[in-house]
A and B are shown apart, each in its own frame.
Chain A
Amino acid sequence: AQSVTQLDSHVSVSEGTPVLLRCNYSSSYSPSLFWYVQHPNKGLQLLLKYTSAATLVKGINGFEAEFKKSETSFHLTKPSAHMSDAAEYFCVVSEWNDMRFGAGTRLTVKP
């Protein structure tokens, strides 16, 4: 079965500096991959998704992720962090609509 590992449980950056949230996946097929964001006391919001089209995927709020099959990775990046980016981020791998969530990475943004 497919699985996903988020390599950092907590990432802290300063406002205006780059963000890198790391995700590795395992899948027997050609998976779909997603990043979701969850702000405090809110549900999960889809940031971006990869579904076998372009390997560099652009999402909302300036985030993007690159699908690297050779490295089985789908890291999330943003050139410049904003205070409003502070939240929990979930990487998700899916086969045939069976979604598996990572444990989450908490992003803290310092002024």
Chain B
Amino acid sequence: ETGVTQTPRHLVMGMTNKKSLKCEQHLGHNAMYWYKQSAKKPLELMFVYNFKEQTENNSVPSRFSPECPNSSHLFLHLHTLQPEDSALYLCASSQEGGQGDNYGYTFGSGTRLTVV
């Protein structure tokens, strides 16, 4: 257990469904991230939250909707997805000091999403 917990581990959903991915970090970090990992592609940063405020949205389609109610929890709400959205969705957290040392990210185990 890394300190970042993602649920569910696996999710199969139809294109008309609505589902949510959950991420929880127990590390006291103040920044959280959603990444998408598709086969044979580099990791894609989707969303960044610092101190619960969204600071980055890398041109992600509106069918993905993030929510960060507090610094420990992060959700990714999904609706009307496409088969090409099937991927491993990874959550990460970090302690952002603003300047100077970078301690890296702690990743969860991911949610394997399949859209049928």
Contact = CB atoms under 8 A, between A and B. Distances in A.
Q: Do A and B bind each other?
A: yes
Contact of A96 (B45, B88, B99, B110): B99
Given A41-B112, A94-B102, A97-B102, 15 more contacts: A43-B4, A43-B90, A43-B107, A43-B108, A43-B109, A43-B110, A44-B105, A45-B2, A49-B103, A49-B104, A51-B103, A90-B43, A97-B97, A99-B45, A104-B42
Contacts of B43: 90, 101
Nearest to A92: B104
27 contacts: A32-B104, A34-B104, A41-B110, A41-B112, A42-B110, A43-B6, A43-B107, A43-B108, A43-B109, A43-B110, A44-B90, A45-B2, A45-B107, A46-B105, A49-B103, A52-B101, A90-B43, A94-B102, A97-B31, A97-B96, A97-B97, A97-B102, A99-B104, A99-B105, A101-B43, A102-B42, A104-B42
Contacts of A51: 101-103
Contacts of B20: none
A104 B43 CA distance: 9
A96 to B, nearest CB: 7
A103 interface: yes
B86 interface: no
A99 B104 CA distance: 8
Interface residues of A, number: 22
Contacts of B92: 44
A94 B99 CA distance: 12
Interface in B73-116: 88, 90, 92, 94, 96-97, 99, 101-110, 112
Interface of A: 32, 34, 36, 41-46, 49, 51-52, 90, 92, 94, 96-97, 99, 101-104
Nearest to B101: A51
A34 B42 CA distance: 16
A89 to B, nearest CB: 13
Nearest to A49: B104
